[in-house]
Amino acid sequence: MATEFILPELGENIESADVVEVLVSVGDSVEVDDPILEIETDKASFEVPSTVKGVIKELRVSAGEVAKVGQVVMVIEESEGAAKEEAPEDDAPSSAEPSAQEERQDSDEQEEGQAEQEEPEAATATAVSEAPTESRGQVDLNREPEPPAEEPSSNGTSSGARQLVPAAPSTRRLAREIGVNIQQVKGTGPSGRISIEDVKNHAKKLLSGAGAPAAAASAPAAASVPVVTLPDFSKFGETKREKMSNVRRATANQMHLNWSTIPQVTQFDKADITDLEALRKQLNKRRAEGEAKLTVTAILLKVLASALKKFPQFNASIDMANEEVVYKDYFNVGVAVDTDRGLLVPVVRDVDSRNVKQLAQDLNEIAEKARNKKIRPEDFQGSCITISNLGGIGGVGFTPIVNSPEVAILGVSRASMEPVYHDETFYARLMMPICLSYDHRLIDGADAARFLRWVCEALENPALLAFEG
Amino acid sequence: MTEADVVVIGAGPGGYAAAFMAADLGLKTLTIDKEENPGGACLYRGCIPSKALLHAAKVINEAREASHIGISFGQPQIDVNRLAEWKREVVGQLTGGLGQLRKARDVQHIQGTARFVDNHTLEVEGHEGPVKFKHAILATGSRPVVPGPLAIDSKKVMTSTEALELEDIPGSLLVIGGGYIGLELGTVYASLGSKVTVVEMMDGLLPGADRDLVRVLSKNVHSMMHEVLLGTRVVEMVETMNGIKVTLDPAREETFDKVLISVGRRPNTENLGLENTKIELDGHGFVKCDAQGRTGESHIFAIGDISGQPMLAHRATHQGRLAAEVIHGSKAVFEPHAIPAVVFTDPELAWAGITEGEAKEQGVPHKVARFPWAASGRSLTLGRTDGLTKLILDPESERILGVGIVGPGAGELIAEGTLAIEMAATAEDLSLTIHAHPTLSETVMETADVFFGNSTHMAGRRPARK
**3-state class of A352 per DSSP?**
helix
- Among A141, A172, A180, most B C-beta atoms within 10 A, so best to mutate, is A141
Asked which of A81, A113, A129 is the last residue of a domain, the reply is: A129
Q: Where are the alpha helices (DSSP H) in A311-404?
A: 356-371
Q: Tell me, yes or no, whether A54 and A173 share the same domain.
A: no
**How many alpha carbons fall within 13 Å on the CB side of residue A219?**
25
Residue of B187 and A27 predicted with greater confidence: B187
Pairwise pLDDT comparison (A253 vs B276), residue with the higher score = B276
Tell me if B440 sits within 8 A of B428, measured CB to CB: no
Contacts 24+ apart (CB under 8 A), B237-245: B237/B149, B237/B150, B237/B152, B237/B157, B238/B152, B239/B152, B239/B154, B239/B156, B239/B157, B243/B156, B243/B172, B244/B152, B244/B154, B244/B156, B244/B157, B244/B174
Cα atoms in the 13 Å half-sphere on the side-chain side of B64: 12
Minimal-distance CA residue of chain A relative to B339: A159
For B290, which of A115, A155, A193 is closest by C-beta distance?
A155
Same-domain check for residues A286 and A388 = yes
Give the gyration radius of chain B's Cα atoms.
24
Three-class DSSP category at A344? strand
Let me know whether A310 and A182 are in one domain: no
pLDDT of residue A139 exceeding 60: no
Phi, psi of A185 (to 5 degrees): -85, 135
pLDDT in the model for residue A44: 64
Spell out a b/e string for A228-258, using b for 16 or more CB atoms within 10 Å of the CB, else e: eeeeeeeeeeeeeeeeeebbebbbebbeebb
**Distance separating the N- and C-terminal Cα atoms of chain B:** 64
Nearest CA-CA distance, residue A166 and chain B, Å: 5
- Give chain A's contact residues with B (Cβ, < 8 Å): 111-112, 115-116, 132, 134, 136, 138-139, 141-142, 144-149, 151-152, 154-157, 159-161, 164-169, 172-173, 176-177, 179, 190-194
Q: Do B424 and A193 touch (CB under 8 A)?
A: yes
d(CA A135, CA A375): 32
Which residue blocks in A117-162 are alpha helix, DSSP H? 119-123, 126-129
In a domain, A241, yes or no: no
pLDDT for position A227:
72
Q: Poorest-confidence range of A265-274, A337-346, B125-134?
A: A337-346
Q: Before B395, cis peptide (omega within 30)?
A: no
Dihedral class, residue B33 (left if φ above 0, else alpha if ψ from -120 to 50, else beta):
beta
Q: Which range (A53-67, A210-224, B284-298) has the least confidence?
A: A210-224
Q: Is the pLDDT of residue B442 over 70?
A: yes
CATH number for the domain spanning A257: value is 3.30.559.10
| DSSP SS3 for B386 | coil
Residues 6+ apart with CB under 8 A from B171: B194, B195, B257
Let me know if B369 is exposed, middle or buried by CB neighbors in 10 A (0-12, 13-18, 19+).
buried
For residue range A154-179, list pLDDT tens digits in order. Answer: 343 344 445 789 999 989 988 888 88
Strand, coil or helix: A451: helix
Which chain A positions have a beta carbon within 8 Å of B315's beta carbon? 157
Q: Single out the residue in A214, A240, A272 at which a domain terminates.
A: A214
The whole-number average pLDDT for the span A137-162 is 43
A111 to chain B: which residues are within 8 Å by CB? 26
Segment B368-420, tens digit of pLDDT: 999 999 999 999 999 898 999 999 999 999 999 999 999 999 999 999 999 99
Question: Between A141, A151, A190, which is nearest B290 by CB?
Answer: A151
From the CA of A416, how many Å to the nearest CA of chain B?
Answer: 51
First to last CA, chain A: 57
Task: Calculate the alpha carbon distances from A301 to A274, A362, A363, A385 in Å.
Answer: 19, 11, 9, 10
With residues binned 3-state (H G I as helix, E B as strand, rest as coil), the percentages for chain B, rounded to 5, are 35, 25, 40
> Could you tell me whether strands B2-9 and B131-138 are parallel, antiparallel, or unpaired per DSSP bridges?
parallel
Which among B313, B323, B275 has a CA at the least distance from the CA of B296? Answer: B275
Q: Do A341 and A410 have their domain in common? A: yes
- Over residues A325-353, the mean pLDDT reads 91
Does A467 score more than 70 pLDDT?
A: no
Sorted by where each starts, the structural domains of chain B and their CATH numbers stand as 2-144+266-327 (3.50.50.60), 148-263 (3.50.50.60), 341-452 (3.30.390.30)
**Domain assignment of residue A93, yes or no:** yes
Give chain A positions within 8 Å (CB) of B426.
Answer: 190-191
Residue contacts between A and B (CB atoms, under 8 Å): 115
The set of residues, in sequence order, having a beta carbon less than 8 Å from that of A51 and lying 6+ positions away, is A5, A32, A126, A127, A130
Q: Nearest-CA residue of chain B relative to A144?
A: B299
Say which amino acid occupies B232.
Answer: T
How far apart CA B457 and CA B447 sit, in angstroms, is: 10
- Which residue type, as a one-letter code, is found at position B386? D
Contacts of B257 (CB under 8 A, 6+ apart): B156, B170, B171, B172, B173, B194, B242, B243, B244
Measure A215 CA to nearest chain B CA, in Å: 21
Q: Mean pLDDT for chain A?
A: 77
Point out the residue among A139, A168, A173 whose CB comes nearest to the CB of B329.
A139
Looking at the partner chain, which of A138, A147, A157 has a beta carbon nearest the beta carbon of B308? A157
Q: Cα A393 to chain center, whole Å?
A: 27
To the nearest whole Å, the CA of A150 is away from the closest chain B CA by: 10
Residue A261 counted as domain residue? yes
- Give A438's strand partners: A265, A408
Contact between residue B336 and residue B394 where contact means Cβ atoms under 8 Å apart = no
> Is A234 within a domain?
no
Partner residue facing B298 (CB), from A144, A169, A193: A144
Single-letter residue type at A186: K
Of the partner residues A146, A154, A167, the one whose CB lies closest to the CB of residue B331: A146
Q: A233 lies in a domain?
A: no
Choose the closest CB to B331 out of A112, A157, A177.
A177
- Is A144 domain-assigned? no
Residue A125 has pLDDT above 60, yes or no: no
The C-alpha atoms of residue A181 and residue A195 are separated, in whole angstroms, by 14
Q: Which residues pair with A335 in a beta bridge?
A: A387
Output the furthest CA–CA distance in chain B (Å, rounded).
Answer: 74
Q: Confidence class of residue A210 from pLDDT cuts 50, 70 and 90?
A: very low
Question: What average pLDDT does this structure show over A233-242?
Answer: 87
Question: Are A208 and A351 in the same domain?
Answer: no
Domain limit, last residue, from A80, A98, A129: A129
Summarize pLDDT for B160-213 with one digit per residue, the tens: 999 999 999 999 999 999 999 999 999 999 999 999 999 999 999 999 999 999
Q: Does residue A209 sit in the same domain as residue A260?
A: no
Residues A61 and A195 occupy one common structural domain:
no
Give the residue from chain B lying closest to A158, CA to CA.
B309
CA atoms within 13 A on the CB side of B380: 6
Shared domain for A317 and A372, answered yes or no, is yes
Give the three-state DSSP class for A317: strand
Residues of A in contact with B326 (CB under 8 A): 145
Using an 8 Å Cβ cutoff, are B216 and B210 in contact?
A: no
Q: For residue B424, give the nearest of A160, A167, A176 by CB distance.
A: A167
Q: Which residue of A has its CA nearest to B304?
A: A157
A contact test, residue of B298, B300, B333, B360 with most A CBs within 10 A: B333
Whether residues A151 and B291 touch (CB distance < 8 A) is answered with yes
Counting the structural domains of chain A, the total is 3
As a whole-number percent, the residues of chain B with pLDDT over 90 amount to 94
CB < 8 Å & 24+ apart, contacts of B200-203: B200/B228, B200/B229, B200/B230, B200/B231, B200/B232, B201/B231, B201/B232, B201/B233, B202/B178, B202/B230, B202/B231, B203/B230, B203/B231
| pLDDT confidence of residue A154 | 38
Catalytic residue numbers of B read 437
Contacts of B288 in chain A (CB under 8 A): 155
Q: Say which CATH number the domain at A108 has.
A: 2.40.50.100
Q: Which domain holds residue A448?
A: 249-468
pLDDT in tens, B241-298: 999 999 999 989 999 999 999 999 999 999 999 999 999 999 999 999 999 999 999 9
Q: Are residues A415 and A348 in the same domain?
A: yes
Reported confidence tier of residue A435, pLDDT bands at 50, 70, 90 = very high
A14: pLDDT confidence band, cut at 50, 70 and 90? low
Residue type, B399: R
CB contact (8 A) between residue B358 and residue A149: no
Q: Which residues of chain B have a CB within 8 Å of the CB of A146?
A: 329, 331
CATH code of A187's domain: 4.10.320.10
Q: Is residue A134 part of a domain?
A: no
Residue A469 CB-half CA count within 13 A: 24
Q: Which of A202, A256, A422, A440 is catalytic?
A: A440
Distance from the Cα of A112 to chain B's closest Cα (Å) equals: 7
Please report, for residues A261, A291, A407, the alpha-carbon distance to residue A442 in angstroms, rounded to integers and kept in the order given.
13, 40, 8
A351 within 8 A of A402, measured Cβ to Cβ = no
Name the band, by pLDDT with cuts 50, 70 and 90, for residue A6.
Answer: confident
Cis peptide before B310 (omega within 30 of 0): yes
Q: How far is A169 from chain B (nearest CA, A)?
A: 6
How many helices (H) and strands (E) chain B has is answered by 13, 22
A14 and A60 in a single domain? The answer is yes
Q: Quick one: average pLDDT of A183-211?
A: 82
pLDDT at B70 over 70: yes
Cβ of A191 and B397 within 8 Å? yes
Residue A155 domain flag: no
Amino acid identity of B85?
A: E
A141 with B27: Cβ contact below 8 A = yes
Nearest to A388 by CA among A326, A358, A345, A421: A345
Out of A233-247, B129-143, B393-407, least confident range: A233-247
Nearest Cα to Cα of residue B362 among A184, A84, A162: A162
Nearest chain B residue to A170 by CA distance is B423
A315 and A403 co-located in one domain: yes
Averaged pLDDT score across all residues of chain B: 95
The alpha-carbon gap from A460 to the nearest alpha carbon of chain B, in Å, equals 42
Query: Rounded to whole angstroms, how far apart are CA atoms B8 and A457?
Result: 57
Same domain, A203 and A287: no
Q: Are B426 and A157 inside 8 Å of each other by CB?
A: no
The verdict on whether A422 is a catalytic residue reads: no
Cα dihedral value B342, B347, B353, B355, nearest 10: -130
Give the minimum alpha-carbon distance from A73 to chain B in angstroms, rounded to a whole number.
23
Residue A147 CA to residue A134 CA, distance in Å, equals 13
With cut-offs at 50, 70 and 90, classify the pLDDT of residue A339. confident
| 3-state secondary structure at position B7 | strand
pLDDT tens figures, B90-124? 999 999 999 999 999 999 999 999 999 999 999 99
Q: Which of B303, B335, B426 is most worth mutating to test chain A (most A CB atoms within 10 A of its CB)?
A: B335
- In this prediction the pTM is 0.59
Contact call for residues B395 and B365 (beta carbons, < 8 A):
yes
